[in-house]
Chains A and B, each alone.
Chain A
Amino acid sequence: MRSQANPRLMLMILSAVFAFLYIPISVLFALSFNEGGLPTAWTGFSVKWYGELVRNDEIIGAAFNTLMVAIVSTFLATILGTLLAVGVEIRRRKGRFLETIIFAPMIIPDIVLAIALLSFFSMLNVTMGLHTVIVSHVVFNLAFVCSVVRARLKTFDWSIVEASTDLGASTPITLWRVVLPVMLPAVIAGALLAFTLSVDEFIIAFFTAGAGRDSITLPMQIFAMIRFGITPEINALATIVMTVSVVALALSQRLNRGGLPGQ
């Protein structure tokens, strides 16, 4: 294939696609440092819009909520997802039903899961807030953690588990002392992925956070701000949010080469 492709044409395609992918976010990035705040004129480099963000109590509150949701849901999802992955991989018989259940959270449209959870919580008369957002985020997060850990387990040498069992270690000890250390990079990679997904998740949070002002997450705050209009603060906030996800993802990728779902 390589020999037949026209290198100049290939380079043109790549340049065009990468320009399309990166120009919009680069513009946002650059504008967040524009002193005047307007997209039409560059009036000098400044971090004053970042300063505005720090003084905005609503944004700080939303950021705190987002971190809270992301940390707790990632913690729970990492434990549940890792155990699930190990359980599925040591099972000899692979059930199609089981695979479907595990795969479903990654493919169900967000809006469907969001309204399903909203109906479920309100039918049970559960007061909604950050806790319901956390519970909901664990659903898709555990599926992603599971898929990252499973990808690594495919190349796992199970004979070391046999060796451990033969030497008299119980199953929990084997998992903790033998399987986990080998799997740790994949588990951390899965956790970082889950953290990113949770920080960025908007639709499910929007439906399951309830009506209170105090359970607003950062994406919900951004959505409200964007609908209100373009402001330089959004550029700065968008840049921070984008940087956080990209750094977490790059770290995840480094820890677990090629282990992201779909790769």
Chain B
Amino acid sequence: MNDRKPIYLMSPALAWLTAFMVIPCLLILALAFFRRGIYGGVEYTFTMENLALVFDPLYASIFLKSAWIAGLSGVIAVVVGYAAAFAIAAAPARRQPMLLFFAVLPFWSNYLVRTYAWIVLLNREGLIVSVVQALGYDGELPKLLYTESAVVVGLVYNYLPFVILACYAPLSRLNPEIAEASRDLGGSGWTTFRRVILPMTVPGIATGFVFVFVLSIGNFVTPALLGGGQFQMIGNLIYAQFLTANDWPFGAALSMFLIAIMMGLLTLQTFATERASGARREES
């Protein structure tokens, strides 16, 4: 087959992606620079107001709050996910695929269902309260559902499988001889981990963190269900602009901001990956 044929094979899909992804996304980009109409529509006059509004102190607290929740979820998910990936990579080779499969399986079940499961566990008549009371505790329990912690738990729970997958990839490729060499040279287990294994697996950690952070900060489902609508993430703010406040240009500007955060983090992650592979080359 010559080199021109691929175009015919690729064009239907590329046309679809252009029409229903590239153009709509460009449209959103353009929308961010238009003025909001008086009756909620869009007025086609150029303005920078929407982008300026994104940095308005009024929204700063929402951004900081959502960055805090997303960052905390990212850190917890990475710590737990890395430990799990490490344990899977340390298991006998023939068991690893099965362990990995079961670690990732929940990720492919419905997001709403997984979030709902936490409502069942955390609510006032929920399982956790019942278990604690059955154990003989009859004092007042702190509120579990509709709290910031509930949102963080939900986000960690939903995205953990992906972090395990991301951290497992570099851990499984690690040459055991490198760790052995470190120990032969007198490095303790902890030193070997901190100075040798950890730096070489930074790409997986970075990928996992970026993924959890971006999906969390743009989330509107988990804050709505587990936060009881008390917490606004950037995702909730975007949702509101389109479905209740009817300020599409501002919603578009917020989306651009979200994409900008994602691009920035992905660039950092590429940088981290390149540094790690550079370190690997120097060592070999």
Q: Which residue numbers of A lie inside 8 Å of B, CB to CB?
A: 1-5, 7, 10-11, 13-14, 17-18, 20-22, 24-25, 27-28, 31, 38-40, 79-81, 83-84, 86-88, 90-93, 101-102, 104-105, 107-113, 115-120, 123, 135-136, 138-139, 142-143, 146, 161, 165, 171, 174, 196, 199-200, 202-203, 207, 219, 222-223, 226-227, 230, 234-235, 238, 241-242, 245-246, 249-250, 253, 258, 260, 262-263
Contact = CB atoms under 8 A, between A and B. Distances in A.
B7 A87 contact: yes
B74 interface: no
Interface string B91-112: 1100001011111111011111
Given A21-B106, A115-B238, A207-B242, A3 B176 contact: yes
B165 A262 contact: yes
B252 interface: yes
Contacts of B174: 1
A200 B111 contact: yes
14 contacts: A14-B88, A14-B99, A22-B106, A40-B130, A104-B17, A111-B219, A111-B255, A112-B259, A115-B242, A116-B25, A200-B110, A222-B113, A235-B120, A246-B109
B6 interface: yes
Interface in B165-222: 165-166, 171, 174, 176, 179-180, 183, 189, 192, 197, 214-215, 218-221
A262 B162 contact: yes
B40 to A, nearest CB: 12
Contact of A219 (B23, B112, B239, B242): B112
A79 B11 CA distance: 12
A71 to B, nearest CB: 18
Band of interface residues on B: 35 or more
B33 interface: no
B117 A258 contact: no
Contacts of B89: 1
Given A92-B3, A119-B31, A242-B109, A28 B117 contact: yes
Contacts of B92: 2
A139 B1 contact: no
B contact patch SS: helix
Contacts of A40: 125, 130
Interface string B243-282: 0000010011001001100100000000000000000000
A115 B28 contact: yes
Nearest to A2: B90
B16 interface: yes
B63 interface: no
Interface of B: 1, 3, 5-10, 12-14, 16-17, 20-25, 27-28, 31, 80, 83-84, 86-92, 97, 99-106, 108-121, 123, 125-127, 130, 157, 160-162, 164-166, 171, 174, 176, 179-180, 183, 189, 192, 197, 214-215, 218-221, 224-225, 235, 238-239, 242, 248, 251-252, 255, 258-259, 262
Contacts, number: 254
Nearest to A25: B117
A5 B125 contact: no
A112 B258 CA distance: 8
A116 B121 contact: no
Given A13-B87, A242-B109, A246-B108, A227 B10 contact: no
Contacts of B114: 24-25
B258 A87 contact: no
B252 A119 contact: yes
7 smallest beta-carbon distances between A and B, as pairs? A87-B9, A87-B10, A116-B24, A84-B13, A24-B117, A5-B90, A120-B24
A262 B170 CA distance: 12
Given A4-B192, A238-B110, A17 B84 contact: yes
A138 B16 contact: yes
Given A10-B91, A111-B220, 19 more contacts: A4-B192, A14-B88, A14-B91, A17-B80, A20-B160, A21-B103, A24-B117, A27-B117, A39-B125, A80-B12, A84-B9, A109-B214, A110-B218, A112-B255, A113-B21, A119-B24, A119-B27, A139-B21, A196-B108
